[in-house]
Amino acid sequence: MSGMNNAFVRFSGVKKTYDGETLVVKNLNLDIARGEFLTMLGPSGSGKTTTLMMLAGFEVPTQGSILLEGRSIDNMPPHKRDIGMVFQNYALFPHMTVEENLAFPLKVRRLGKTEIEARIKRALDMVRLGAYAKRRPGQLSGGQQQRVAVARALVFDPKLVLMDEPLGALDKQLREQMQLEIKHIHEDLGVTAVYVTHDQGEALTMSDRIAVFNDGVIQQIAAPAELYERPQNAFVAQFIGENNRLHGKIVAMNGATCKVDISGAGNVQAVAVNVEAVGGQTVLSLRPERVKLNPTPGSLPNVLSARVAEVIYLGDHVRIRVSVCGHDDFVVKLPNTEGVVQLEPGTAITIGWKTEDCRALDAP
């Protein structure tokens, strides 16, 4: 996880336990570059929020060290770390107006009146709320309150901005809109941002890199496209995006590829990613949109017989759930480019895919 000589933020051998026995974060080594938007993604209890809270100063590492610009911040109180925070519940002062909320962190830092006014105007313009300066939080919508929370976290020009599930309380459409707004603000300002979420779509949309957490350990850290296209283990493949899984046994290895025996269906060619030797068990990972329906004979190296279980129309695409190799939850996703696919449940079909789209990963 490490490697940057001049990392802006560095976690070095960080461990965290609350009860003295169970490690919530296990030997974390992570470098974050200046200006990067890094998302910590994972299920509840995976250690991502604890990691963020240690960086903010609200939790103390049990072991290891956290460096900011090369200096240890382990014993530095939160208010001296020069870090902006955005929480899911906004944490705005309800009795203050929008401009008073933004002025608060500036007054704490003893800035002059003229400078405070200029910074508030700039921050509100940035989130397109210049006309709402005199309103109180209770007079704003959820999306507007979240914009104010973002503006307050940025108004004092912090070194680092931390966001803990900040869009979780918003409806889907507003959440997607705010994802792009935060992404664009980050791009415009160039501030370093660390973002925590359990929503993989959110992480893919906003991030320069994503660190996928599970059981207190980073399973993989990479750019969104790298994570989605080339997951390094079965957990990442399953957690990032939709994923079909087929269990099998390795019967041959040939450099970067392998041949896997799928019980009752014959052999499948796959990219050998995280596998042992011939005879070992593996899980094949395959994205639904990479599966071809009734491919031309001889056009693909992997073709299996299947039977349609269900066709679900979703507007821009169609999901076809098929039964294959004893699995009833295998999904084929087709773009709706030529009208609705007409397939009745029970119809016998074939499905196929390229070798490079199928990854042999660690068995569960």
Q: Give residue 70's pLDDT.
A: 93
| pLDDT for residue 6 is more than 90 | no
Q: Give residue 2's pLDDT.
A: 46
Sheet with 23-32, side-by-side order of all strands: 23-32, 9-17, 63-68, 71-72
**CB-based contact 311:341 (threshold 8 Å):** yes
Q: Give residue 5's pLDDT.
A: 59
Instruction: Give dist(CA 85, CA 107) in Å, integer.
Output: 17
User: Which tens digit of pLDDT belongs to each residue from 30-42?
Assistant: 999 999 999 999 9
How big is the chain by its Cα radius of gyration, in Å? 24
| pLDDT for residue 225 is more than 90 | yes
| pLDDT for residue 339 is more than 70 | no
First to last CA, the chain: 24
Specify the CATH number of the domain 242-362: 2.40.50.100
Instruction: Indicate the domain borders of the chain.
Output: 9-234, 242-362
User: Which tens digit of pLDDT belongs to each residue from 240-294?
Assistant: 989 999 999 999 999 899 999 998 778 999 999 988 889 899 999 999 999 999 9
Element (DSSP H or E) covering residue 195: strand 192-197
Length of the chain as a residue count: 364
- Out of 3.40.50.300, 3.40.50.740, 3.40.50.720, 3.40.718.10, select the CATH number for domain 9-234: 3.40.50.300
